[in-house]
């Protein structure tokens, strides 16, 4: 048995409400739907506002007169403001939720020609999300026959969306490809990471943290995220970039947050600062772990509230920007050591992506080699290729544990630049590859940390032998000095516990005295080998 057709529609207070005596000469969307021979609705579910009761009665009577087999069911709705999206959606969604749909026996159509635009959009959304299991029906006055008009049924069945879905998928693939600089990477973890970043780049303006050792491509990725956002119309302002390791003291505050004229000696003019330059755009703070604690506090406020205080200003300045932070330090360890604010880490950790080192993506070395050679060609106009044997040798070495790729893409890029530049006649030969492998090995070996197997053999700065007890302690103190930006900072880290107990009054002094016992001061401690 064919299913019964049921039409849902809002009473159109304007279009359905023609002057009484001339109403049959005019197109009235709701009534006209029931004047078509090929559409035989068993029921009209007429949604109308309480104050429109009289018009609802007239329309219902006229529907029954042109289509005697149609029953009319009145459903009252109440919009305080028919242009308020949230309210209209809620009211219509309540109607949908309460309605006893019987899909086995009934076929539903939702008429979207009547009601405010807001109501029409809400009905569309309810059908599209299947909260109302229906197709849409749209009517229009264009017709050769009087008041009857025309109608068309729009099926939002998701299979009809295949073409659209395919478009979205293609766009997503393009975005991911763009982030990967068109390199056909194979590493599953890396590819998943790029897919995730593509999603986030298009949808979020929250901070992004890019972590990973030096040379894994954090800076390059930050620039590409910005470019991608520009293509997706997700950002309007500019890309502003600074390496926090280059910012020190007053200069750090002024560079980031700007300053008034005369804010400090030499401040002859007022300056906006990088945060304001990034307004509406993207601020990339590389090596964010190098930022001082005061700058961190100001930055947090700027991210959360969009305001900050330029140096020497008495009124806060405003800027809204997306932050991408880069780090090759373990920021959680910095928080534990009191060098990084926990609240700032929590805020920038919202989207945090750890880029894997090249040694963990050995299957990606080959596509990256191709990419580097293509880049060399683009830059120099000189096409360089590997001799077959040379290529196999290089790739085998590159993927072996002997290749540590300490500086990641910087090492790989440098190796290929040397090979391409030296290649006789544009051909990279086997001997050239052997020479390069030796060079890479030697370079990495120089940077390997010498192992102290027996700390008891250690000596102090004056060459005096040390007890194992002192050597172990001194080694850690030196490490903290190297990782700190000042004597006071190192002191704070080393005496963090006694500080909270107020047991020691001057950490810096205590550290200075400790170092002096071994013939060291802070500067020489910082410069010490590990
Ligand atoms: N496939 C690649 N992905 C990323 N970077 C690459 C790639 N190929 C070459 N490079 C180059 O490697 C170098 C290092 O990249 P980048 O500066 O983005 O690393 P980083 O992680 O920001 O390093 P650092 O922590 O030292 O700032 C750049 O010169 C970059 O152009
Ligand atoms: Mg970088």
pLDDT band at 323 (very low <50, low <70, confident <90, very high): very high
Q: Quick check: 200 pLDDT over 70?
A: yes
Which ligand neighbours the alpha carbon of 406 most closely? 1
- For ligand 2, a single-atom ion, the residues with CB < 5 A are 218-219, 286
CATH class belonging to 4-156: alpha beta
pLDDT-above-90 percentage for the chain: 67
Task: Please name the residues in contact with 59: beta carbons below 8 A apart, sequence gap of 6 or more.
Answer: 11, 16, 28, 30, 31, 46
Q: What is the mean pLDDT of residues 261-271?
A: 85
pLDDT at 456: 43
pLDDT digits (tens, 9 = 90+) for 153-173: 877 765 556 666 777 888 899
pTM, to two decimals: 0.66
Q: With CA atoms as reference, report the closest residue to 77 among 37, 129, 114, 40.
A: 114
| 78-82, 122-126, 463-467, range with the lowest pLDDT | 463-467
CATH 3.40.50.300 residue window(s) in the chain? 167-354
- Superfamily, domain 167-354: P-loop containing nucleotide triphosphate hydrolases (3.40.50.300)
Q: What is d(CA 205, CA 209) in angstroms, rounded to the nearest whole number? A: 12
2.40.50, 1.10.3470, 1.10.10, 1.10.8: which CATH number matches 359-447?
A: 1.10.8
Q: What is the mean pLDDT of residues 311-329?
A: 94
Q: Which residues line ligand 1 (CB under 6 A)?
A: 181, 183, 212, 214-220, 286, 326, 328, 368, 409-410, 413
For a mutational test of ligand 1's pocket, the pick from 217, 289, 412, i.e. the residue with the most ligand atoms closer than 8 A to its C-beta, is: 217
- At 391 the pLDDT is 96
**Residue with the larger pLDDT of the pair 497 and 52:** 52
Q: What is the tens place of the pLDDT at every residue in 19-63? A: 888 888 889 999 999 999 888 899 999 999 988 999 999 999 999
- As a whole number of Å, the end-to-end CA separation of the chain is 86
pLDDT of residue 268: 85
- 215 CA to middle of ligand 2, Å? 7
Q: What is the mean pLDDT of residues 352-361?
A: 95
CA 258 to CA 452: how far, in whole Å? Answer: 47
Mean pLDDT of 376-387: 94
Confidence band of 145 (pLDDT split at 50, 70, 90): low
**Rounded Cα distance, 218 and 66, in Å:** 70
For CATH 3.40.50.10770, the residue range(s) in the chain are: 4-156
Domain with CATH 1.10.8 in the chain: 359-447
């Amino acid at each position: 048995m064919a299913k019964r057709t049921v039409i849902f529609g809002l009473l159109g207070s304007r279009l359905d409400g023609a002057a009484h005596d001339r109403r049959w000469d005019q197109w009235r969307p709701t009534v006209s739907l029931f004047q078509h021979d090929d559409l035989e609705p068993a029921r009209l579910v007429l949604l109308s506002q309480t104050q429109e009761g009289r018009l609802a009665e007239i329309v219902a009577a006229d529907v029954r007169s042109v289509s005697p087999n149609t029953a009319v069911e009145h459903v009252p709705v109440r919009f305080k403001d028919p242009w308020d999206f949230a309210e209209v959606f809620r009211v219509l969604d309540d109607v949908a939720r309460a309605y006893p749909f019987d899909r086995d026996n009934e076929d539903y159509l939702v008429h979207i020609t009547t009601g405010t635009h807001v109501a029409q959009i809400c009905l569309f959304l309810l059908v599209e999300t299947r909260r109302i299991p229906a197709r849409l029906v749209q009517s229009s006055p264009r017709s050769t026959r009087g008041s009857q008009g025309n109608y068309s049924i729009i099926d939002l069945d998701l299979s009809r969306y295949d073409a659209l879905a395919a478009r979205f998928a293609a766009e997503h693939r393009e975005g991911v490809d763009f982030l990967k600089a068109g390199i056909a990477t194979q590493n599953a973890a890396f590819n998943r990471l790029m897919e995730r970043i593509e999603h986030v780049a298009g949808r979020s303006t929250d901070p992004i943290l890019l972590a990973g050792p030096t040379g894994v491509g954090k800076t390059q990725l930050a620039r590409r995220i910005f470019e991608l956002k520009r293509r997706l119309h997700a950002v309007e302002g500019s890309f502003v970039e600074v390496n926090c390791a280059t910012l020190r003291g007053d200069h750090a505050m002024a560079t980031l947050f700007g300053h008034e004229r005369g804010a400090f000696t030499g401040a002859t003019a007022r300056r906006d600062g990088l945060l304001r330059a990034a307004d509406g755009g993207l601020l990339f703070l590389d090596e964010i772990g190098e930022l001082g604690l005061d700058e961190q506090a100001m930055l947090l406020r700027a991210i959360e509230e969009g305001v900050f205080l330029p140096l020497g200003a008495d009124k806060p300045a405003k800027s809204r920007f997306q932050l991408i932070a880069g780090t090759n330090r373990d920021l959680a360890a910095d928080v534990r050591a009191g060098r990084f604010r926990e609240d700032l880490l929590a805020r920038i950790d919202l989207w945090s992506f750890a880029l894997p080192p090249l040694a963990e993506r050995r299957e990606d070395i080959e596509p990256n080699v191709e990419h580097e050679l293509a880049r060399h060609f683009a830059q120099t106009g000189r096409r360089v290729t590997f001799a077959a044997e040379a290529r196999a040798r290089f790739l085998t070495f590159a993927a072996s544990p002997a290749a540590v790729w300490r500086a990641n893409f910087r090492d790989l890029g440098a190796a290929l630049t040397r090979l391409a530049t030296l290649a006789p006649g544009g051909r990279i030969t086997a001997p050239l590859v052997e020479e390069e492998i030796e060079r890479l090995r030697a370079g990495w070996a120089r940077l390997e940390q010498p192992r102290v197997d027996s700390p008891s053999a250690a000596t102090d700065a004056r060459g005096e032998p040390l007890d194992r007890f002192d050597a172990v302690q001194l080694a850690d103190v030196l490490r903290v000095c190297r990782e700190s930006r000042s004597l006071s900072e190192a002191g704070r880290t080393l005496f963090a516990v006694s500080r909270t107990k107020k047991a020691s009054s001057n950490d810096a002094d205590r550290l200075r005295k400790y170092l002096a016992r071994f013939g060291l001061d802070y500067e020489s401690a910082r410069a010490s080998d590990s």
